[in-house]
Amino acid sequence: MEIKDMSFEQAVCELEEIIKKLEEGKLLLDDAVKAFERGSELRKFCEGKLENARLKIEFLSDKT
């Protein structure tokens, strides 16, 4: 699935799976690099979603 089509929760779940695999150290080097790259993309996506949510909350809080 493309990251842009994921929900925040789906992205976090996949990121957790990638972290677990990397921590186990059982991936071949090329697979580990690909997993790290995917994880980095997922992290950026999640950070963006969180930042957007924070900005919306700030905006709504300022209106009251």
32-49 residue pLDDT tens: 999 999 999 999 999 999
Average pLDDT, the chain: 96
Classify the C-alpha dihedral 31-34-40-41 as positive or negative: negative
- From CA 33, how far away is CA 25, in angstroms rounded? 12
**Domain assignment of residue 51, given as a range:** 3-63
- Token pair for residue 61? 């809080």
Number of domains in the chain: 1
Q: What global pTM score does this model have? A: 0.89
Q: In which region does residue 51 sit, left (phi positive, over 0), alpha (psi from -120 to 50) or beta (all else)?
A: alpha
Classify the C-alpha dihedral 5-9-14-18 as positive or negative: positive
